[in-house]
Amino acid sequence: MKHLFTLALIISILFVKAQPPAGYYNSASGLTGVQLQSALHLIIDNHQSQSYNSLHEHFKNTDKKPDGTVWDMYSDIPGGTPPYIFHFTSGDQCGNYNSEGDCYNREHSWPKSWFDDRPPMYSDLFHLYPTDGYVNGRRSNYPFGEVGSATWASENGSRLGNSNYPGYSGVVFEPIDAFKGDFARTYFYMSTRYYQEDNGWPGSAQVNGSQLKPWALAMMKEWHLADPVSQKEIDRNNAVYEIQGNRNPFIDHPEYVSYIWGGPVGVEDKEFVSNLRVYPVPAVDFCIIEHNGYFSTYDFSIELRDITGREYEVDYSVSGDQIKVNSQKLNPGFYFITIYQDGKKPAFARIVK
């Protein structure tokens, strides 16, 4: 099976899987698309809802770093020294705050205003995390996204500013790369746990009810692949399961993202080519793909698909190391190019129209 990757995801990917109870996902076996999403919804539905006041106590099991401190994704620097740390004490819990490092509180990573502050979403541990209160306040209820020019940045590098991701230009909050996959899988959980249970949700620029809008879905799929499942997530998934009685399927089975929403599975494709240059961005009548001599001049094949997986006929010409793709007939959006040649690893790129 051929899978498509964007230029932004040219990395070696190896997902580590958590171990759900035997048979937990049996009813989802062999399904794809909305049928799989619906089956997973039934598996993880009706969890044992916890009180909001109990969350600080639960965080001691779900979000504790190996050294016993609070695992705050808005201040942590994996592999480095965080600017400050919090302890699981009432003195470090917000409370009032005036700046970073004052205290931590309970962050609704899927902002509560998007579901009208309703239960059981309000206290669902799979999207609630302990985070710096000040950074949480700066994030507010803005969508997650990718920032062009930041208007503000936290001490660990999280950023606030206008989106430069295709499809949305409003204000967004961008966590650091090391935790983007965590938040993407959180959002896939929310879209599945509350699938068809979102009547009356106000939504936002990022979501319609419980479902991600096209630009956000494309971005979250990229984040999911670029930042694979970590041991932190595996441990947290198991801990939340002990508390709520349900799991995040996209931590246990990262390939479910592709099976439901399309795109690369991210398990089989471990080797591919990264030295491509694509311009102009956005494309108008054409785009140029430079492969730096990796392919023979003519003996290759090209696939062009949109984010839904729909394949398009490709009109292109070749000149040296350049492939010129005619994009006149494409609607505005983003597309994925895959280049194949016998005896060579595939090459992948994204076209923005």
Average pLDDT taken over every residue of the chain: 87
| 277-352 is a CATH 3.30.1360.200 domain | no
Tens digits of residue pLDDT in 96-155: 999 999 999 999 999 999 999 999 999 999 999 999 999 999 999 999 999 999 999 999
Task: Enumerate the CATH 2.60.40.1220 domain ranges in the chain, comma separated.
Answer: 277-352
- Residues 6 or more apart whose CB falls under 8 angstroms from that of 235 comprise none
Q: At what angle do helices 214-226 and 180-193 cross, to 10 degrees?
A: 130
Beta-strand ranges (E) seen in 219-300 are 277-279, 286-290
Using DSSP's 3-state secondary structure scheme, residue 230 falls into coil
Question: In whole angstroms, what is the distance from residue 109 CA to residue 181 CA?
Answer: 13
pLDDT at 15: 38
- Does residue 3 surpass a pLDDT of 90? no
- Residues 6 or more apart whose CB falls under 8 angstroms from that of 231 comprise 16
φ, ψ of residue 253 to 5 degrees: the values are: -135, 85
Instruction: Indicate the range of 11-20, 67-76, 224-233, 260-269 predicted with least confidence.
Output: 11-20
Are 170 and 151 a contacting pair, CB within 8 Å?
Answer: no
CA 17 remoteness from chain centre: 17
pTM above 0.85, yes or no: no
